[in-house]
Each structure stands twice: as C-alpha cells, then as structure tokens.
Amino acid sequence: MIVKTRASDEAGTAKRRELAFQSFDEVLADCKRLADVGYHHAGNWNLGQICQHLAAYMNQSMDGFVDPPPFWMPYAKPVVRALYLPKILKGAHFKIKAKAPESTLPSTNADDEVRMHELEQAIARITAEDAQFVDSPAVGNLSAEEWRKVHLWHCQHHLSFLVPAAKR
C-alpha cells in the first residue's frame, strides 16, 4: 500500500492521504490501524460511517441496488464509463463529487468496531470465488474483477479522508 498526504482543499482541515490499495487485506489493515491509533477527519464521516457506507455499496453490488438511479443516468452512463471507469480501474487519484445513494448513507452514530466487522463480512462476500455481481447503475456491466477494482478504489477514496493520529 502506498500512502502519501496532500494538502486539503480547505484551510484548517487535516490533510487527506493518497492511498493505493492493492488488496482488501490492505483495506482492513488500514481500518484496524486507524481504529488502533485514532485519526483526524479531513472529511465529514468517521471510520464507522465510512465502513458502513463501503459495506452497503459492496453488498448492493451483489444483491441489487436499492435506490433508483437519477433520471439522467441512462444518458450519462456512456460518458461516465468512458471518462471515469478507466481511471478507477487503474486506481488513479482524482476529485469526484457524487452524491451517495440514500440507502448507502451511514448512520450518525456508526460504531467503528461494529461497522469494521460489517465491512470485513462484505469484503468476504465480494472476494469469494463464486461472487456474482449486478450491473453498476453508473457504468453498466462489469466483470467480477472489475467490480473488485471499483471497490478497492472506493475504499481508498473514502479512507483517504481519515488521517492517522499519534499512538494513544
């Protein structure tokens, strides 16, 4: 895993990290490290909320997406697929402002340990050899390997907003 920090977009906030996860083991190790040493926020969600959101999205990629896509998504899908999917599959870092589907929004009191366990269970599901995925509402059909790369990118995007603190 490659870790760098970069200045945040807003003065006075913690610096975001640039993460480059190569495996889901690295994702879980980063979560455990953050829970162990504590962290500063460079965004709005805590570790539990991020884990809850990531787990919900992973599960919906297999079980079906709950929220209907915006009315404009069918028109945007080819553009999103052409412009963003190649970058995501390479693990590239880029700014993206997208509203999370309502059903994947975390609770305000998400417990880090409980939600980390949920993420661990979701990762076990998506990494299973026989994992079956549904089409992405944003980019359409993806292979299982492409879905896993999308999930790794999604993890590195959200976890980059948490910056480890000094050991307690």
pLDDT in tens, 48-69: 999 999 999 999 999 999 999 9
Spell out the domain ranges in the chain: 17-164
**What distance in Å separates the CA atoms of residue 149 and residue 114, rounded to the nearest whole number?**
25
CA dihedral 151, 60, 28, 156 (to 10 degrees): 30
Extract the tokens encoding 67. Answer: 């929220």
Q: Is 100 exposed, middle or buried (0-12, 13-18, 19+ CB in 10 A)?
A: middle
pLDDT in tens, 107-166: 998 999 999 999 999 999 999 999 999 999 999 999 999 999 999 999 999 999 999 996
Give the angle 83-142-82 at the CA atoms, nearest 5°: 15
In CATH, 17-164 is 1.10.405:
no
